[in-house]
Amino acid sequence: MKNIRFNFRNKLVDIELPAIMGIINYTPDSYYANSRVKSIDQAINKVQSMINDGAAIIDIGAESTRPQATPLTAEGEIDRLSKILPFIRKNFPNIIISIDTYHAKTAKYAINEGADIINDISSGLMDPEIITIVANAHIPYVAMHMQGTPSTMQINPHYENVIMEINYFFSERLHVLHDAGINDIIIDPGFGFGKTIEHNYQILNHLKDFTIHEKPILVGLSRKSMIYKALNISPEDALCPTSALNLQALLNNADILRVHDVKEANYIIQLYKLIKSNQ
């Protein structure tokens, strides 16, 4: 197993890989209802449970980015985050908090409230100012690949070669991010963000191809449509197949699992370690 050393505001922190990023959604419309929290107490209890179950990072989102989701303004996003982020930070001073946003204003607010990572589905393309804000804060950044926007991304997504095109995208974005002064970067191929079911499984099978960028690879497979539509089930019934795909992702060089179900992801990582240690 390996560690990654990140710079959080000029403080070096080691994270053991593979690592788990637990999802907290303070939204009314995220595709998996059980990921949503509706109160401060519910959020704090959920974060505590995720930490107990082995999460190294808590990823908080205030805007749903599911396909055809209604966009939220930065002001609306900040209003939602203000109801839980300061309290989570106060109650869990040592946990790494990631904020799922593409809005520069939201990123600035969240960083001021103690967020440690910005997780941007657009890699800075939807609001380029976010790059400067993250660079000035000296914190890690998750750069994700998406074709289109959440409202358009699942309208006939097309690639000539999905792996080559995503790799080209990361090469270009990493150059921009490094030039801006962001050095601690995690890449996310963006399962479900402008991809067909077939594209998603091609990406899963070729995760190793993204190691050429020498950045940790984050995967977000948890209960997504590539699972529940393929199996004709609901997101609520997709835990077992999610676990199967998370194990496959780890075997194909994924470093961080972004999940709704932390305990089960931790079981998968333990089994993965057993597999690797006995090869």
Catalytic residues: 224, 258
Burial group, residue 66, by CB count within 10 angstroms (0-12, 13-18, 19+): middle
Give CA angle at 15 (190, 41), nearest 5°. 75
* CA pair distance 86, 51, nearest whole angstrom: 17
- Backbone φ, ψ for residue 141 (5° rounding): -140, 130
Contact call for residues 140 and 186 (beta carbons, < 8 A): yes
Contact call for residues 105 and 72 (beta carbons, < 8 A): no
Contact call for residues 236 and 34 (beta carbons, < 8 A): yes
* CA pair distance 139, 6, nearest whole angstrom: 8
Residue 90, amino acid: K
